[in-house]
Amino acid sequence: MNFKRYILTFFGLLISEVLLAQFSTSGFGTGTQSTNNFPQGKTTEKAKSPTGRAGVDDSTKVIYGPTSTKYFLEEDVFNNRKKLYTIDTTIGEGHNFNFVQRYRNMYQDLGNIGTAIRPIFFQAPEQIGTMLGYDAYSLYAFKPNQVRYFNTRSPFTNLVYVTGGNTQDLLQFEFSRNVDSLWNFSVNLQRIVTNKQLVTSSTSTNKNALGHWDFMLHTNYQTKNRKYQLLAYANLSDHNSNDEGGVLPQGRTYDLILQQGNNTAILNNAATRDKFYNLHLYHEYVGYKAFQVYQVLDYQTRKVQFRDPDYIANWTNGFYPIAYDTLGKGSRYTTNAAVTGKMKLDSLYNESQYSIFEHKSGIKGFYRGFNYRLHLRQRFFGFTNPLYNYSISRNENFLGVWLNQYFKDSTRAFAELEYLLTGSDFKLNVEFQGKWLTIGGKAMSTSPTLVQQVTFNDGFRWDKNTTAFVTDRGISNNMQTYHAYASASPKFGKLTLRPSVDINLINSYIYYDTLSFVKQATEDIAIFRAGLGFEFRKGAFSTISQLYLTTTTGPDLIRIPKIFANSRLAFDLLYKKKLFIQTGLELHYKSNYYADAYMPAIQQFHLQDKQMINGYLQADAFADMRINRVRLFFKFANVAQGILGNGYYAAPGFLGMGRTFGFGLQWLLFD
């Protein structure tokens, strides 16, 4: 509680500084780019420093705008791409505040912003090695490749507030300021809050569905001779969810629930908390362009908890598959007093603790379009299940190489290989990027996650090292994935086509069955996906559409809709040369399929055969506006409800968001 108060106090001080800056300066303008990649604005006086580092002069009038405030990404520095980005002031995407729509409907959540989320299409793991395996909320946390590192003399503020209807609220705050010309300091804040959609019992007074916090401090620094550069951030992510478990059918069909309403939740008092701290640092020394030394450091601590005090009742109604113990006999499984105090009688409690330190150290360089990297990566991690009195600590060592070639016609080809020295994990990736054609392939062998290896609580137990648990054993064998893909973007006047094809072959696929127990397939699974997208613009009218057709072979363990389609129709308007408006309609459709259900006790999505998620055409009307540095949007979500149907299910047991009206604001301040 004290920590949150400190955050709010710091947030208030930053807003106060921004407001004071607004009263002490005026105007917007477009600066120029200096030879040292430092955005230059117009000033009446230059600040001087005895150290030779340019100071930040707030005493004189400075005029800055979105083109003079630049940022860069760690990935570009890492790959020796000296690329600066300007602040995006275009309109057309502000209304897609929901993370599902932000990623073009390629994810499935539980109907509300901030709920457990998973990809619709199969995705191979991003890293090799032994990962934790709790990823239902990972998409909402800040990631290294998303951090914008600024270099700007004027204070920059990006404030976003969205009230999305049905008590969906999103707040994002970004503030950046240079200490001097070589050192920048920034802060990011994100808050997601929403209420429950389903009706709880009369004994439950908690209407909050979830609350999510992200708080990040980040900085970047380079020496005057530009030989050394450092990028670093500290991040806190805290996700609290009051899990509902979906609707309680009460003898009705799911279609009848859509028609009649009165949607009662299965779980009334269950709750999840997923909290982690992360420290990240990247630094490099450039002796010569062809020979550079770099290092990436990461440290993270994480605790994942779930509690349901109504476990027996929810086991009786069939939500939990198995009760292992005769409850009511006091302390179970562990002698840890701190843990047994949380394990109330007739309740289910799950806890996992995780810490990791990782470094990637190596050399890199470039010469006449050729880039290379060589690295050694080491991971030291510890995992504890206090209920099971189970704890492990381990280190893993990886070697990797990355090669990239740019050609004179701006095409590029690259290949990377990483290998686990003490196991069978590996990753091989090759790709060619032409002017309008991209083709590539990836092969991976990945270890099962820690959650797939060992889990223990009242409802779910497995351990790869023992046969004591009769129902299932944990997974110890690697999963192999092979992915080939190609895409093109030919242009025909004002029309751009985007055909694509993806082929995935998965061996020893690891999944969670209909009882939410971990399993491993004994047969190969193949996934074939063909896509066709197009973009057409003429005058004030524009349309962007995407269609995917997917089929699978092998055991029915990866459920994907056979038809997936997105489309946007939009018109651009200009009112009195000041107000820019884009208004239109966005459409999304998925065909019928048995989408995976969510089990909050282990934070995993699993197979289910009880509810077909019927195809539904979702239509959202929107209007995005911009006047000066302020962007607004108005959104009428699911506008076709009652016309094309009574609604839809976002996931098994979870209704999609009904017809709602949302509003959002983004305010960019540059001085």
The tokens of 481 are what?
């994935």
The closest of 323, 326, 298, 293 to 308, measured between CA atoms, is 323
Length of the chain: 671
pTM as predicted? 0.87
- Round to whole Å and give the CA distance between 274 and 517: 21
Residue 654 CB contacts under 8 Å (≥ 6 apart), including other chains:
110, 111, 115, 197, 244, 246, 247, 598
Amino acid 204 reads S
Instruction: Tell me which residue has tokens 């349309």.
Output: 543
- Round to whole Å and give the CA distance between 369 and 437: 20
Amino acid 547 reads L
* 257 close to 247: Cβ distance less than 8 angstroms: yes
Strand duo 437-446 + 454-456: pairing: unpaired
Using DSSP, state whether 320 is helix, strand or coil. Answer: coil
The closest of 407, 593, 550, 582 to 121, measured between CA atoms, is 550
On average, the pLDDT of the chain sits at 85
pLDDT of residue 326: 43
pLDDT of residue 25: 33
Instruction: Count other Cβ atoms within 10 Å, centred on residue 627.
Output: 13
Residue 265 CB contacts under 8 Å (≥ 6 apart), including other chains:
196, 198, 199, 200, 244, 245, 246, 247, 248
Q: Which long-range contacts (CB under 8 A, 24 or more apart) does 38-41 make?
A: 38/151, 38/153, 38/181, 39/64, 39/68, 39/69, 39/70, 39/151, 39/152, 39/153, 40/68, 41/68, 41/153, 41/154
pLDDT of residue 330: 40
Amino acid 342 reads K
- Round to whole Å and give the CA distance between 83 and 70: 10
- Round to whole Å and give the CA distance between 432 and 447: 28
pLDDT of residue 315: 87
- Round to whole Å and give the CA distance between 361 and 281: 12
Backbone Cα Rg of the chain: 26
Q: Residue 138 has what DSSP assignment?
A: G
Q: How far is CA 225 from the centre of its chain?
A: 36
Amino acid 480 reads Q
- Round to whole Å and give the CA distance between 327 and 315: 12
* 42 close to 57: Cβ distance less than 8 angstroms: no
- Round to whole Å and give the CA distance between 454 and 261: 40
Residues of the chain with confidence (pLDDT) below 50: 1-51, 56, 58-60, 62, 202-203, 326-331, 470-471
Q: How far is CA 194 from the centre of its chain?
A: 18
Angle at 153 between CA 148 and CA 155, to 5 degrees: 70
Please give the domain boundaries of the chain with CATH numbers for all domains: 2-45+90-669 (2.40.170.20)
Using DSSP, state whether 60 is helix, strand or coil. Answer: coil
- Round to whole Å and give the CA distance between 669 and 402: 40
- Round to whole Å and give the CA distance between 447 and 131: 8
- Round to whole Å and give the CA distance between 103 and 310: 36
Angle at 248 between CA 246 and CA 252, to 5 degrees: 125
The tokens of 658 are what?
């009904």
Q: Where are the alpha helices (DSSP H) in 55-208?
A: 74-78, 99-102
Helix, strand, coil % (nearest 5) of the chain?
10, 50, 40
The closest of 476, 654, 552, 601 to 121, measured between CA atoms, is 552
Amino acid 425 reads D
- Round to whole Å and give the CA distance between 270 and 317: 15
Strands (E), 131-207: 149-151, 156-163, 169-180, 183-195
Q: What are phi and psi of 66, to 5 degrees?
A: -65, -25
Backbone angle region of 401, left / alpha / beta, with phi > 0 → left and psi within -120 to 50 → alpha: beta
Angle at 623 between CA 621 and CA 627, to 5 degrees: 175
pLDDT of residue 12: 46
Q: Where are the alpha helices (DSSP H) in 343-493?
A: 450-453
